[in-house]
């Protein structure tokens, strides 16, 4: 196998990895914004219409933001 | 005895927080509820209307497996990544799928129609950035029309209830609710009771 081909293959692998990392970071930043807006909506609706499920919904929406933020930091550090 | 059996609306207190047709729901109130105002009915769209959303979620959940097995355009993206990178991509994807499913659930759960002994309330949650609440006093209600149109509507007995009012929102639409006939009957019954009360009185 020519040396140039092997070198380019390695470079491609790095480029793909870097591209995917950048994409995931952007994706998660937008997702965190979405999750935060969803949390605000849940808070507003739970205030307007309190039900037996309201505390659980608030909990799930907070956990949703927390997991997304945690995954973002893990990707920044480990990917 | 016969009347008691027929009066399903007033004899049951619904404790199911996910009910689509809840009579006098326990643990539910709303922001502008008055002191003696009772919730007679809490309505949500029939659970059948969630089937398209469930199919979308299932499709999104199996999409990574489809992408890897079908080998789109002759490129298998997962082969170009290290296994640890594939793990992070899949984790981010399933977080998104969970968020989408949660959003769809919230959308269904908070699209609520209430019939109280004083008014009707329509909580509209039309999108992530669009919510609307409309109220109409029972005395402002002019006409109530239940409609069941379509195969699935007839099969599962759900439909729309159109309510003409003299309020600032001229028409209320209770969309895809279960037992639309019973809902219309109950609204008209509450209107009749309200008309027997003195103005401003809450019984």
Domain ranges of chain B: 8-45+111-195, 51-106
User: Given this model, what pLDDT does residue B50 score?
Assistant: 95
Task: Flag if A61 and B27 touch (Cβ within 8 Å).
Answer: no
CATH of B8-45+111-195, one of 2.60.120, 2.30.31, 2.30.29, 3.30.67: 2.30.29
Instruction: Tell me whether A74 touches chain B (CB under 8 Å).
Output: yes
* Predicted confidence (pLDDT) at residue A2 exceeds the cutoff of 80: no
Domain ranges of chain A: 20-78
> Where residue B2 falls among pLDDT bands split at 50, 70, 90?
very low
Size of interface A-B (CB pairs under 8 A): 95
Non-local CB neighbours of B203 within 8 Å, separated by 6+ positions: B36, B117, B193, B197
Nearest CB neighbour to A31, from listed B81, B82, B95: B95
Interface ipTM: 0.82
Question: How does pLDDT run across B36-78, given as a tens digit for each residue?
Answer: 899 999 999 999 999 999 999 999 999 998 888 877 666 677 7
> Which residues of A fall within a CB distance of 8 Å from B80?
12-13, 16
> Where residue B200 falls among pLDDT bands split at 50, 70, 90?
low
> Which residues of B fall within a CB distance of 8 Å from A76?
none
What is the SS3 string spanning B108-147? HHCCEEEEECCEEEEEEEEECCEEEEEEEEHHHEEEEEEE
B175: number of CA atoms within 13 Å, CB side? 10
Chain A stretch 13-52, residues whose beta carbon is closer than 8 A to a beta carbon of chain B: 13, 16-17, 20-21, 24, 27-28, 31, 34-35, 37-38, 41-42, 44-45, 47-52
Nearest CB neighbour to A79, from listed B88, B109, B123: B88
User: Looking at residues B16-28, what average pLDDT do you find?
Assistant: 90
Question: How does pLDDT run across B108-144, given as a tens digit for each residue?
Answer: 999 999 999 999 999 988 777 777 889 999 999 999 9
Pairwise CA distance, residues B31 & B33, whole Å: 6
């Amino acid at each position: 196998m020519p040396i140039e081909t092997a070198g380019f293959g390695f470079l491609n692998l790095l480029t793909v990895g870097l591209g995917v990392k950048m994409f995931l970071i952007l994706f998660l930043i937008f997702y965190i914004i979405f999750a935060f807006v969803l949390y605000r909506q849940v808070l507003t609706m739970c205030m307007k219409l309190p039900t037996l499920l309201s505390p659980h919904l608030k909990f799930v929406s907070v956990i949703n933001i927390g997991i997304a933020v945690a995954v973002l930091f893990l990707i920044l550090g480990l990917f | 005895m016969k009347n008691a059996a027929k009066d399903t609306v007033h004899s049951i207190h619904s404790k199911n927080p996910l009910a689509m047709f809840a009579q006098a729901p326990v643990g539910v109130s709303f922001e502008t509820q008055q002191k003696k105002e009772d919730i007679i009915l809490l309505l949500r769209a029939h659970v059948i209307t969630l089937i398209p959303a469930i199919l979308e979620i299932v499709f999104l959940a199996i999409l990574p497996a489809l992408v890897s097995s079908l080998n789109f355009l002759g490129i298998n993206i997962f082969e170009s990544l290290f296994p640890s990178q594939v793990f992070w991509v899949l984790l981010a994807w399933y977080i998104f799928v969970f968020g989408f499913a949660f959003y769809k659930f919230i959308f269904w759960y908070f699209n609520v129609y209430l019939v109280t002994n004083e008014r009707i309330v329509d909580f509209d949650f039309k999108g992530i950035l669009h919510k609307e609440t409309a109220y109409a006093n029972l005395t402002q209600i002019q006409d109530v029309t239940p409609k069941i149109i379509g195969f699935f509507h007839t099969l599962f007995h759900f439909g729309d209830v159109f309510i003409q009012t003299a309020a600032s929102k001229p028409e209320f639409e209770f969309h895809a609710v279960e037992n639309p006939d019973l809902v219309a009957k109950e609204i008209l019954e509450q209107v009749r009771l309200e008309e027997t009360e003195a103005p401003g009185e809450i019984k």
